[in-house]
Amino acid sequence: MSLQLPVQTVSRLCLIYRVLLGMDRNEQLSSSKLGKLVNIPAHTIRKDLSVAGKLKSSNAGYKAGELLDFIKGLFNFDAPLRVCVAGIGLLGSSFIRNPVQEGGQFIIVAGFDTNINKIEVMKSEVPLFPAYEMADKIREMRIDLGIIAVPAQAAEITKERMKEGGIKGILNFSPAILGDKDIAVRNVHFAEELRFLTAMIPDLEKGV
């Protein structure tokens, strides 16, 4: 993005964008209506949009299509990105089998695994390579983003290989918590999502 926005604002604008994708472009939206759809207070939405920049709005609010285009332009969401997947287990394979994501915004162009046998045997539209070729292939194929779907103990080395190849952002599904001062890293941990869900349930009676 061209301007430096607070992480929480970026996160909320991404959520709003996702909701807008499923709407009629001509739908008229007020901040409070939009707020209900994404479960965010209306004044927070107004603040986010004002921080993000000038957006043509009337008293009647925003037009869905214009708001969509505004966020799309703000973050360059119209340019497709090249993505690779490290770790071709069940989760990694689910990306390899669906190489075009979100109508072409993300295109899975390569997969990597340490198991050479698996790479040779597996049928895949997306080319698969041994993990040790990762940095070279990422550079050659000008890959933008990496998905890490390897076991925890292999997460750090995988991140380093991706960085070496010049990757710009990493989505980490391994249980390891990854961070980096040079590139954007997003950790998604399934068990933590379950734990958060557990914490949100009032007065849960438990017992297996």
Positions that interact with a copy of itself (CB under 8 A): 1-2, 4, 7, 10-11, 13-15, 17-19, 39, 75-77, 79-83, 89-91, 93-95, 97, 101-102, 105-107, 142, 144-145, 147, 168-171, 177, 179, 183-184, 186, 188-204, 206-208
For a copy of itself, the closer CB: 134 or 167: 167
For a copy of itself, the closer CB: 60 or 208: 208
* CB 171, min distance to a copy of itself, A: 5
For a copy of itself, the closer CB: 51 or 188: 188
* Nearest one of 114, 108, 120, 126 to 89, comparing CA atoms: 114
* CB 67, min distance to a copy of itself, A: 15
* CB 148, min distance to a copy of itself, A: 12
Distance CA 161, CA 132 (A): 8
For a copy of itself, the closer CB: 56 or 206: 206
Question: What number of residues does the chain have?
Answer: 208
DSSP collapsed to 3 states, 116-158: HHHHHHCCCCCCEEEHHHHHHHHHHCCCCEEEECCCHHHHHHH
For a copy of itself, the closer CB: 49 or 83: 83
* CB 11, min distance to a copy of itself, A: 6
With beta carbons less than 8 A apart as the criterion, state whether 172 and 185 touch: yes
DSSP string, 177-208: ----SSSEEEE--HHHHHHHHHHHSTT-----
* CB 25, min distance to a copy of itself, A: 18
Beta bridge partners of 63: 28
Distance CA 91, CA 192 (A): 17
